[in-house]
């Protein structure tokens, strides 16, 4: 199974900051990676698919990049509603695998 | 409007069986791949199982292979869980692929909670 390592596990930042999370796959997965945001007590929400394609309705301050084994999610100009948990998911092969998650906290 | 409503969760004893349901509306289940994803309390997300749009292909996480079965009929997705273990305690989410031509888990239900405890 492909392992996906997400980092950091947690991050503190302030409103207005720009932050970047990363996911590394144990082998090449082309661009078959998605990013999700999860607010406490809520279901996850798809932000980015195909490594860099923004899901409809997601603000453009979210962006994804990368291919192969290294992927990044960048949030520019953090808003209060962005403080949440973020997960990546590889869909290149089964079993699909999530990263361990990054918890974004207010500094 | 895509709507997914899970049900069937509850408290069950180890070793017993349980069937989760996910009622789909606003689209045809026969046109989309579907998934089950779970989240243990305070933990991250774990992909559990997927079924292709036509039901012909099914895939499972190693942790549930041989114990869980995913299936669907016209309007409902199912997850049949046998031999429940304490580590199966989690919120279970039903997820639909984003679009007809892609395999991105995009639309999520609100989840149903399964607690395995004696």
A29-72 pLDDT, tens digit per residue, is 999 999 999 999 999 999 999 999 999 999 999 999 999 999 99
Q: DSSP letters along chain B, please? A: --EEEEE--EEE-TT--EEEEEEEESS-GGGS-EEEEEE-TTS-EEEEEEE-TTS--EEE-TTTTTTEEEEE-SSEEEEEE-S--GGG-EEEEEEEESSTT---EEEE---EEEEE--
Beta-carbon separation of A55 and B111 below 8 A: no
Beta-carbon separation of A91 and B108 below 8 A: no
Paired strand residues for B15: none
Q: Which residues in chain B are contacts of A23 at CB distance < 8 A?
A: none
Beta-carbon separation of B59 and A95 below 8 A: yes
Tokens of A105: 């906290």
Nearest chain B Cα distance for residue A93, angstroms: 10
Q: How confident is the model over B65-94, as a mean pLDDT? A: 97
Distance CA B42, CA A16 (A): 28
Beta-carbon separation of B44 and A101 below 8 A: yes
Using CB atoms, which residue from A44, A91, A100 is nearest to B103? Answer: A91
Q: pLDDT band at A9, cuts 50/70/90?
A: very high
pLDDT for the residue B107? 96
Nearest chain B Cα distance for residue A43, angstroms: 6
Report yes or no: B115 and B11 within 8 Å, Cβ to Cβ: yes
pLDDT for the residue A19? 98
Contact of A2 with chain B, judged by CB distance below 8 Å, is answered with: no
Strand positions, DSSP E, chain A: 4-7, 10-13, 19-25, 33-38, 45-49, 53-54, 62-67, 70-75, 85-90, 97-98, 102-106
Q: Which residues in chain B are contacts of A94 at CB distance < 8 A?
A: 50, 59
pLDDT for the residue B100? 80
Query: Residue A11 pLDDT > 90, yes or no?
Result: yes
Contact of A50 with chain B, judged by CB distance below 8 Å, is answered with: yes
């Amino acid at each position: 199974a492909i392992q996906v390592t997400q980092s950091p596990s947690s991050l503190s930042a302030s409103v207005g900051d720009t932050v970047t999370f990363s996911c590394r796959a144990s082998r090449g997965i082309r661009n078959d990676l998605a990013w999700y945001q999860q607010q406490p007590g809520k279901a996850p929400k798809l932000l980015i698919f195909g490594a860099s394609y923004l899901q409809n309705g997601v603000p453009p301050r979210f962006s994804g990049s990368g291919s192969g084994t290294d992927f990044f999610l960048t949030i520019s100009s953090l808003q209060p509603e962005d403080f949440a948990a973020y997960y990546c998911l590889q869909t290149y092969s089964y079993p699909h695998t999530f990263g361990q998650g990054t918890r974004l906290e207010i500094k | 409007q895509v709507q997914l409503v899970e049900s069937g969760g509850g408290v069950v004893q180890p070793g017993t069986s349980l069937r989760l349901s996910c009622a789909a509306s606003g689209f045809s289940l026969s046109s989309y791949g579907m998934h089950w994803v779970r989240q243990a309390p305070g933990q991250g997300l774990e992909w559990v199982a997927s079924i292709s749009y036509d039901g012909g292909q099914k895939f499972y996480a190693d942790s549930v292979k041989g114990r869980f079965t995913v299936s669907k009929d016209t309007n409902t997705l199912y997850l049949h869980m046998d031999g429940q273990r304490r580590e199966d305690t989690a919120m279970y989410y039903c997820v639909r692929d984003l679009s007809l031509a892609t395999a991105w888990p995009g639309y999520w239900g609100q989840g149903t909670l399964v607690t395995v405890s004696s």
